[in-house]
Every structure is written in structure tokens, then in C-alpha cells.
Structure 1
Amino acid sequence: MAINATEKPLSKVFTSDYQFTIPSFQRAYIWQQSNVIQLIDDIEEASKSPQVPYFLGSLILVRDGGTHYEVIDGQQRLVSLSIIIAALRDLEKDTEWMRLLDALIVEPGDKLRGIANEPRLTLRERDAAFFREYVQEGNLEALFDLTDEDWASVAQRNIARNTHAAYDAFDDMTDDERHAFASYLVNGVTLVMVITDDLDGAHRIFDVMNMRGLPLTPSDVFKAHATSGLKPAVLDEYAARWDDIMDPLDDDPTRTEEFFSYLHLILTHKPDTGKLIEDFLTDVLQPYVAAGTVSSFIDRVLAPYAMAWRMLERPNDTVLSSTVRDRIESLNDYRHHEWKPVAMWALVNSFRKLGEPGCSPFVQRGSHSTRGVSTEASLGMHDRQRLEELFAALERVTGVDTLNRTDVVARRGHATAAIRDLDKGYPVRLVRGLSITTADRAGALVRLHGEMQGNEELVRLLLVRANEQLEKGRITRPRKLSAVPIMPLEISKAASFAQWSQDEHDYWMYRLGNMTLVQGGEDQMDKLVEFDRRRERILMRSDSRRFPLTRQLSDFAECTPAMLKHRQEETIRLIAEYWDIRYDEQHTDLTAQPVEDLAGSASITRTSHGSRRVTIAQVVKAGLLIPGETLVWERPRKGERYVATVTEHGRFRLEDGSEYTSPTAAARAAGGSSAGLDVWKRTSNGQKLGDIWKAYRLKIN
């Protein structure tokens, strides 16, 4: 079994030298939006140091003849990288950049060299055509027009949602920022290509790399360096002590790297340079080694901060007050973790005995004896009020940063500034990094007023905050909790929405006022169009009725714009109260201010539509479609031809008189296709709707 392993940048991976195929026995594409956004954030942060490469792990491949390779390990990263590149390509205005980005995921072909035009990555048979048509070939507008009922597999749903997330992340960047990201992605991100000719051998390699031959974690490196500075008499004792401290954090390299990265930030107040091992050894460990005080580092630094890390992961198992436990649980709702170093500092500096042998902050479950059980007092707790104030301020700034889409560099800057001021003994209200500026507050409120399509995770978090503020306490959540719309996506066939205009429906569809929390999955109401049936399904389970904003639906016999406006205003007010951003310094109620005034205070000069679904009504209003003009869908092989007329109300009317609010819905009704933006064309010039939709998005962005 011949094995070859080489490290290559993406510019050498996504070329005609490699034609990747996902074998049928592989699992489906399972990455979620949070995984893709974390990858984008990590690469964006790494790109700040363009001379330092970002290693994205190994691909295990089986050669399948010529340049064809089966992917044994690496599918999730290859698919996600393709999605990221497709989003960058779709937002690009420069034709040369578009061409270069396109060539990374689709081989342009070369007749002279006998190279076919085809995608560089082929998924499993069930999802290959979907991925090629919508992502690799650049039909993102058609993808954004699809709804949950159009997915034929969970993988297709993940592909669509992750493309939404990537598009929105890049839409927030300037052209120069996207170019810098793309350049680093291609030249600075590297993969190790592990290639064999034998499938069984590839699986053995996979087992060795993932089970028996794990690379050294930062903890392993730091332990070796630290123990080299210990005297022989205490070497075994403190080597074992290191293991006792770090073993509960597991041997996951990502988790241990994050822990030591945050510990470095806490101790040095320095920003991350992307060279953790080098920086931690030089800035933190070497002074202890040189002074012969490594044992002091292990006892007084490593032990308490590792214990604090564990407390943040399992707050409800600790002796912390319910107020602090609830705040930590709320902080764990966020997918960004830059709050952790401040939280670690807060715990270590609030418990004098944290990390000492025999002093555990965790409750002993199932024991009837209280002898030896730790309490806040026995752990040396001091100034509980300050600890509670600090966690409240930390959760507040984390929430506002999340709403304002603050980038990772700025979030780390907030943490660094906060710890620097806390080390100086400043009171919480004067700590930079935990304060909210006028622009921050206004920007968060503007976001709350806006559309939230494609960000189910954030919507769910915001609704939880609003409900808990109304309930005046934490609400126990069901295992599966979703945020679902009160209105259906299509109202044309719903008698209970007959009085609604299409503009009213489109305005409210993706705003907080139209969303509610419910136990179960997001797809449970897809086929219910009437309000009373949707309301009954929402209120059917007692776990859904735990949430007061959900329970309120029982008080309404019909869904009206006035009802959604009331819910929107109440939800925004509750969230603003929760984060203490409702009033400004003059005690003016900002939730009652016009959004335009808030946008001015926040210096928001550009309103982004992002990947949100474009409607026919919006395109008609923009003058890109004309009421009365006709569209045609030709299927010459089947001898079929469908005609749709654009109505003045922003719908497509088929020849049988039925009307639809999206091209996909009209295509599905006419001929069973979900590719609405691809099949409909103008009869006047043959222009595809996908091109018109993209022109609209570029116009409003």
C-alpha cells in the first residue's frame, strides 16, 4: 500500500489535478450554519496575519484512476469550502475575480488538453445534481427562492441553509474585505493530501489518524516545556498534577487550543497572532521556567483557570448562585465564545480557593451526606454582587455584539479591554469592553426591527430572551425548541389571510413579530395554511405553552397586521429591557423611536438585503418586471409549454387562473419543478428570472 502525503494551499487543491467524488457509502453532508460561520470567522481572523498559513487538517483520498479521487475523510470541509467560494463569487462585481473564483469549484475545461468542463467535487448521487445546479453552477438566486418542502434530503437542507449563512456573512463585508478574505483563502489555507491506492488502506489511515495517532495538543506541548523546568524531586508529582487538571477538558485539540488561547489573552492582554504555541511559550511559560516557579504556574494559574473553564461548560452542576448560573447558561447560547476569557477571569477572581485540591465547585449528585461538600463560602467566595453585575454586563455586550454582527477581531478587543480594566480594579460600570455605546445600542435596535430570514438560531435566542424577560425568570426549555412563523409562506390559498395584501405579508413574514417558540422541529407546520390550524398546532404541546409570548396566540381569533405589529413592538421592548438598551442617557424610550432615527444614531448608511428571499412583488415594485407581461416555460422534449402573467399585485397567474407569490411555487404548480427562477423566461427577450432576481439584489445592496 503506497501512501503519499503533501501539504498544499487551496490554490493547488481546487485544480484540474484533483477530481473529488464522495462515495455512496459516506455519510451525508451534516455541517450546520454555526460550523460554516465558525470556519469563516476563523479564516477571517487568520487572514489578519497573511504570512501565517491556516492549516485546515487532512484529506484522506483513494486514487480512482488519473486525477479522480474518492474522499474518505474531508467531505464536510470540501463541501463547505465550495459553498464559501460560491457565495464570494455571487457577491463579486469584478468579472476577473468572478472567473477566478468560479474556476476553483468548476473546472472551466480545455478542449486542447482534453479536460472536461465539470465540477471539482461530486457529492453522493442523491445530492450531486442539487449541489451542482444551485451552488457550483452559481444559481444562488434560485436556491434562495426554495422553501423547506423543496429539499429531497437533509443534506440539501444543510447545503441551502449554509449557503444562506455564508452569503450573509460576506454581504456584511466591503469589496476590499471580501477580496482580502478570498486571497488568503486560496493562498493561506492549507490541507494535507493523504493519498493511497487502496480503499482498505485508506480506512486504516483514517483510524490511525483519528484514534491512535492523534497529533500533540497544545496541552501536550506546554506540559513538556513546563515540566522541563521542574526539579527531579517534584517532576512526577507535578506532571501528574498537570494531567489531573487538564484531563477533564478532554483531549479535543480544538477545545484545548481555545482554552490556552483565552488563557494567554487573560494573562498578557495581547491580541491573538495566530501562533498560539510560540506566543504562549514565550509570553507565559518561559518566565516561570526561567524563575524556577513552574509549580506556582500549575497551582495558581493553570488549576484555577481550568476549573473556571469547566464551570462555564456545566454551570448547573456548580454551587454558583442561580443568578450567575442562569447568566452562564444564557452565554452558552451564543456560538461565539469571546466572552469566555472575561467569564474565566471573573470566576477565578471571585473564589480564592478555586482549583485547590479537595475544593470542588461541583455539586455531588446522589449523595445524602453533606460532609465535605463545597459551598460558595468554603471556596472563598467574595463580592457576589460584583460577580453577578459582571456576568450581566458580559451577557449584555455579547448579545448586542451578536445582533450588530461584530467581527471576531472586535469581539476579542472587547474581551482584552475588559480584562485590562478589571485587572486595574475598575468597577463594572466603568470597564471598557463591557460598555455599550450609543451607536451599539441604536444598531442593535435597528436589527431587532428588521427582517431575520435565514438566521433561525438568532431568532430562537432572541425569542427566548423576550419570553424570559416577560416571565421574569429562566424558562426550562424542551429538548427540541424551534422558532416558527405564525403566517404561512404562501397566503394565496388561505381564507384566513384573504384581507392581507401581498406587501403586508412580505413585510411581516421574516420579522420577530411573526415568529413564536414551539416544541419540535421547524417543519411541523409546512402544510398548514389557515391561521386557526397553525395556532392549534403551535399550542398543542404543553412545552410550547411554557413561553408567554406563545401562549398569547390563544387570545387572538385571527392573524392581522395589527396583531403582528403589537407582537413586534412587545418583543423588541422585552429584549431591549433584558439587555438594558431601551433607554438612552436622557431616559428617552428608544423602542418608541422611528427606525430611521435609530439608523442615523447607529451610523447605518447601507441596508443589506443579504440572502433573504426576493419576492415577485419586490421586483415589480422596482420596475424590473412589468404587470401584464408574460413569462414562458418551454419543455420541448415533453411537448409542454406553460405561460404565466405578471399581475399588478406581484404574483404570477397561470393559464388556469391560479396565482402564486413566488416563481418556485408557480413552477411547482405548473409542471412539478422546484427550479422556478431557472425555468421561467421573459417572452419578450428570453431573459431568465434568475438574472432579474440577481439584478434586484445587487440594486438594493
Structure 2
Amino acid sequence: MSVGQLFADSRRFIIPFYQRPYSWTVEEASQLLEDVANAAGIDDGQVLESDYFLGAILLLNIPAPPVGENVPASHDFEIVDGQQRLVTLVILACALRDLEASPGTELARRLDALARPQADPGASRIVLLGDDWNFVNDYIVAPGGCLRPVAHTGTLDSAQRAIIDARNCLIRNLSEFTAAQRAALCNYICDSCHFVVVTTTDIDRAHRIFMVLNDRGRPLQKKDILKAEILRSVEPEYRDQAFALWRDVEARLGDQMEAFLSHLRSAAGYHRLQVIAGVRRIVRESGSARGFLLDVFRPLADAYAMILSARDAEADIPAELRRVLVGLTRLSGSEWVPAALRVLGRDLRPAQASEYLEEIERAAFLMRLVCLGSGKRQTRFAKITSLLSQPDLPALESLYEPTREEQRSISFNLRDLHARNVQACKGLLLRLNDELQPEALFASPTDYTIEHVLPQRPKASSLWRQWFSDTEERMALTASFGNLVLVSHEHNDGAGNDEYHRKKQVYAKPTSRQLQLAITSEFLSSEEWRPEHIREREAALFALLNKIWRLELEPASIDEAVA
């Protein structure tokens, strides 16, 4: 059933008392908008998916009570499963409506009909219990409600705060669309977004269905659907071979099979499509299911298995590939994986593959030093993946080069990288340690923490205050990249805000589990830790970064750093 059909006539959807309050985060609400907008082809004007599936919802059909002659009848359903999605869709519809320049247009009326039954404009499609109903009506459902500022936000409960956060996020994101894009999105939501709607009239039966859908029943995963479709399409004489190939890949990838199919789709340039739709298109382009399995699925699965096993010292991986793959797998995101699959899926010599992987690593790290979000990183990497998908490999330097603005951002962010992106900061220190100490390649990010040698809050009577008597200079140098080291959690707890000589003793003490990293031990020979020592170390680390990633970083002067 399409959203337009579901939110039609006099239907109302009541959130019963036993449901948890609305709790979707800003990330979940924006992800819903992003997914639907991508399926609708909002960016390029070409619909990527003629139908978009929003999942199943379970409704309890409530018999309508007798009504008076002039009272509009409503058809009420209790939401047993699907509350978060339905509420978010109503918020999205109201946000689109309130951004319309002309409230009386057909588009505005269509959006308003998603939020309010037209026979009773005083009602709402979604009925919350208690005070929440008035709140949602005032700040969401009523025309203009999404643009109304909320007074006394400190008094909101968690559900009200989540609703307002989702509203504000959607308004902010939709404001970046043109009016034509918002109109296209509205029509796509109404006509092309669908739910599987399960209804029942018995509350006990509704709860039994709910338990089966959400607890005992094993949900059908993307890999199950694709496996059935693809293997069924293989010619009968090759089907045993195809089954064996798929089983082998499943055994090697384990619970990462779903992630692999997502990366496979992106490696083919279909990151905006849903996984199943994207893989189906790749199968069609391969000419046959068997061709897909042999020419696409198997080589990319082999490549992904290599990525997953990079930190396994027993895995048979060429040394030059292992170093880069370990560095990449330390990163928190995975937007780089499709590009790496394109490199590893080719029949390249390890040395040549390593050169391209190093460019991918460079791009992944520099995007993090620019502090790009995951969505923007994915977009940039989609272009890199496209270049690597061509029959002839592109020039190495053509894969990624930061813009002038991004280079300035890198220099700026490195002045206080720990505060701006702590994960990128730790990853960068480990990457530099790989250059200084190759034998520590398998050092795990979870085993180490970032320590400021010059403490962030030194005691007023400490020697630190004498060495760094200028407050602004001390604060700038505390944040300096040259003041950061990686130590074990045990060492971090032991060093605290102690004097330098005491910190040196703690850092030098061996631990039973972690290696002492060169990025830390190299500075222990210094008897003091004054401003000039931090500047010298920052200059040395920047010189190393310039060497491995073709940068032109220069240590910032203190005047620049405190500006």
C-alpha cells in the first residue's frame, strides 16, 4: 500500500499506551529522508527506484463508534508495530508542507492530507496520548507548525525533544532542496513509497503477530533474497557449482556477508540504489547469473576477504598490501571499501595494487582531516570508485587531490585535531607510527589512548606553569599535534597531570600487553618539555606527513594558533 493510500480518507493512527515514546534520533530521521531522496533521484532528476519499500507495519483495526449526523466518522487503527516510521513520515510531510511558498497550492493540500484527515482538519493522522497530542498538533501538524519556534525547550520530555530535533533536522535538510525537488519528493513519497500493511481486529492476535515479526521469526535478509534469486537463475547444469561458490563465500565472510553485498553494489557505481536493486542491476549487466558469480561476485568476495583478514598475522597477504589495509581498517568508516575492492579485484601485481591502495588511504585520511561527514566522504569516494572501474587504470594522482579550501581546513584542524576529531587524531598517530615502527603494525586502536604530554589543566604550582608562563601560548601548545602521544590506558591513568619527569617514568614503564610505540618513545630522551620541544616535534611529524601524503604542511606560529 502506498503512503498516499495509507494516509487517505478518514484513517487515523493511534499510538497506544503500551508503546514506547517516539525515540528516533536525528541521524535516523535524516537517513530516512536521504534514502527516500536518493531513491527518488532528487539530485539528478532521474528516479532510481520506481517503488521504495518502507517495511511492514502492524495495525489493530478499531471498530468505529456511532457518530452524530454532523460528526465526521473516523477509521481508527492502533499502531502495534511501525510507530517510529509513521510518526517520522508525518513530520516529513508537515515539514514539506510548511516550506511551500503558497499554502493554497495542490501540492500543499496533498501534503496536508498526509498529516490531517481532510474531512476533519482539526484532527491528526497520528494520535498521541496525553499532552503529547497537543504538543505535536501545535508544533508539527497545524499549518505552519514546523516553522514555529519552541519556547522553554528545557522543559521538554525526551519524546518531545526527539520530535522537535527530528523536525528541525528535516526542515534544515529540506531547505537545501529547490521547490521543484521538494515537489518531486512529495509526489514520490505519496505514490511510490510503500508499506506492507498487516491488520487484525484482535489485540491478542496482534501481539502474537508482533512477537513473530520481531522476536521469534527470523527476518528475511538481503543476502537470502539475492541468493535465492541468483542461484535460481543459473543454468541447471551449472547450479551445483554456483551453490558451492556461494557457500564458500558465505563461510569466509560470515556475518559480514550483508556488508559485502552493500559494498559490491557501491563498487559497481550503484551506491544510491537499495542493495537488492543495485545487485539485480549488476547481475543484468553481467549477462547472466553465472557470469555475475564468476566475474564479479567471486573476485570481489576474495578481495573483501583479504580486507577482513588484514589484521590476522597468519593470513597470506603480501606485505605491501597488508600495511595499507591495516591502516584503512583502523578507520571507523567504510566508504573506502568499494574503491579498495576495485583495486584488489583486478589482476595486479602486489606492488602496483599497493600504489593505488596508498592513494585510497591518503584520500580516506585527508577527508577525515578536513572533517568531512560520512555522506560527503561517500560521495567523494564514489567518484574515486568510478575512476577505478574504467578498463584502463587512471593516473595515481588523479584519484584525489584536496581543494585549496580543504588544504586550509587540514592545516587549521591539525592545530587542535584531538578536539575536532579524536578518532582521526588517533588514526593519524598510528599511521605515523607505522612509518617509525613497522613491527608495530598490528597495534590496535582500542589498546591505546591519546595523551597530552603538556597537561590540559596543569596545577598552578607545577613546573609546567613556569615552562609555559604565557597562558595563550600554553593553551595553543597543549592542543598542538606535537604535544600528543599514544599510551596504554594504564599509562594514561598513571600519568595524569604529573610533572614531566614523572610522566617519563610512567611512559617508560613496560606493560604486560601493549607495545611501547615509537611515536611515544622517540621523545623520551628529552630532559625537558618546553615550548621549543613541542614545536620541534610538530615540525618533524608534519614533515613526515608531507613526505607520505604529498602535503605542504607548515607548523603554525603561536600568533596564528591563538587567533
Which TM-score tier does this pair reach, normalised by the shorter chain? 0.5 to 0.7
Aligned-pair CA distance for 1:194:
1.6
Aligned-pair CA distance for 1:382:
7.3
Deviates more, 1:68-77 or 1:186-195: 186-195
Structure 1 SS opposite 2:85: helix
Aligned-pair CA distance for 1:24:
1.7
Which residue number corresponds to residue 137 of structure 2?
132
Matched, 1:430 2:431: no
Per-residue deviation, residues 294-344 of structure 1 (Å, max 9, x unmatched): 7744884253145257569x9999888576434333242xxxx64331133
| CA–CA separation in structure 2 for the residues paired with 1:404 and 1:263 | 18
Which residue number corresponds to residue 288 of structure 2?
286
Aligned-pair CA distance for 1:447:
12
Q: 1:475 touches 1:546 (CA, 8 Å); kept in 2?
A: no
Matched, 1:189 2:209: no
Which residue number corresponds to residue 29 of structure 2?
36
Deviates more, 1:239-248 or 1:303-312: 303-312
Matched, 1:344 2:346: no
Instruction: Give 2:342's aligned amino acid.
Output: W
Which residue number corresponds to residue 52 of structure 1?
50
Matched, 1:107 2:148: no
Which residue number corresponds to residue 420 of structure 1?
389
Instruction: Give 1:419's aligned amino acid.
Output: L
| CA–CA separation in structure 2 for the residues paired with 1:73 and 1:109 | 25
Per-residue deviation, residues 586-637 of structure 1 (Å, max 9, x unmatched): 9698999xxxxxxxxxxxxxxxxxxxxxxxxxxxxxxxxxxxxxxxxxxxxx
Structure 2 SS opposite 1:330: coil
Instruction: Give 1:304's aligned amino acid.
Output: D
Instruction: Give 1:195's aligned amino acid.
Output: T
After the TM superposition, which residues 236-635 of structure 1 pair with which residues of structure 2 at under 5 Å, given as runs? Answer: 236=240, 238-246=242-250, 256=258, 259-260=260-261, 262-266=263-267, 268=268, 275-276=277-278, 278-284=280-286, 286=288, 288-289=290-291, 296-297=294-295, 300-301=298-299, 303-307=301-305, 310=308, 324-332=325-333, 338-348=335-345, 384=354, 386-397=356-367, 402=372, 406=376, 410-411=379-380, 413-420=382-389, 424-431=392-399, 434-438=400-404, 462-465=421-424
Please tell me the root mean square deviation across aligned C-alpha atoms, in Å: 5.2
| CA–CA separation in structure 1 for the residues paired with 2:340 and 2:122 | 52
Aligned-pair CA distance for 1:176:
2.6
Q: 1:85 touches 1:101 (CA, 8 Å); kept in 2?
A: no
Q: 1:62 touches 1:198 (CA, 8 Å); kept in 2?
A: yes
Identity between Structure 1 and Structure 2 (%): 21
Structure 1 SS opposite 2:372: helix
User: When the two structures are aligned, how many residues end up with a matched partner?
Assistant: 445
Aligned-pair CA distance for 1:105:
5.0
Instruction: Give 2:39's aligned amino acid.
Output: A
Q: 2:95 touches 2:171 (CA, 8 Å); kept in 1?
A: yes
Structure 2 SS opposite 1:465: helix
Structure 2 SS opposite 1:23: coil
Q: 1:62 touches 1:69 (CA, 8 Å); kept in 2?
A: yes
Per-residue deviation, residues 413-437 of structure 1 (Å, max 9, x unmatched): 414433235x633343222xx3334
Matched, 1:93 2:101: yes
Q: Decide whether aligned partners of structure 1 residues 217 and 448 sit closer, same or farther in structure 2, where only a CA change above 3 A counts.
A: same
Aligned-pair CA distance for 1:43:
1.0
Q: Decide whether aligned partners of structure 1 residues 546 and 101 sit closer, same or farther in structure 2, where only a CA change above 3 A counts.
A: farther
Matched, 1:163 2:167: yes
Matched, 1:206 2:174: no
| CA–CA separation in structure 1 for the residues paired with 2:411 and 2:6 | 42
Deviates more, 1:157-166 or 1:36-45: 157-166
Q: 1:62 touches 1:70 (CA, 8 Å); kept in 2?
A: yes
Which residue number corresponds to residue 6 of structure 2?
13
| CA–CA separation in structure 1 for the residues paired with 2:377 and 2:5 | 29
Q: 1:58 touches 1:74 (CA, 8 Å); kept in 2?
A: yes
Instruction: Give 2:35's aligned amino acid.
Output: D
| CA–CA separation in structure 2 for the residues paired with 1:470 and 1:126 | 51
Which residue number corresponds to residue 502 of structure 1?
none
| CA–CA separation in structure 1 for the residues paired with 2:116 and 2:139 | 16
Aligned-pair CA distance for 1:197:
0.7
| CA–CA separation in structure 1 for the residues paired with 2:113 and 2:335 | 32
Structure 1 SS opposite 2:8: coil
Structure 2 residues not aligned, in runs of 5+: 65-74, 434-442, 451-475, 480-487, 499-534, 558-563
Per-residue deviation, residues 178-237 of structure 1 (Å, max 9, x unmatched): 2322232222212222211112222333344455474463554345534653665x7446
Aligned-pair CA distance for 1:40:
1.4
Structure 1 residues not aligned, in runs of 5+: 1-6, 353-379, 450-457, 482-512, 517-541, 553-569, 593-701
Aligned-pair CA distance for 1:47:
0.8
Aligned-pair CA distance for 1:87:
3.0
Q: 1:315 touches 1:328 (CA, 8 Å); kept in 2?
A: no
Q: Decide whether aligned partners of structure 1 residues 270 and 123 sit closer, same or farther in structure 2, where only a CA change above 3 A counts.
A: closer
Matched, 1:65 2:35: no
Instruction: Give 2:92's aligned amino acid.
Output: I
Which residue number corresponds to residue 71 of structure 2?
none
Which residue number corresponds to residue 663 of structure 1?
none
Per-residue deviation, residues 271-291 of structure 1 (Å, max 9, x unmatched): 7566435413211361745xx
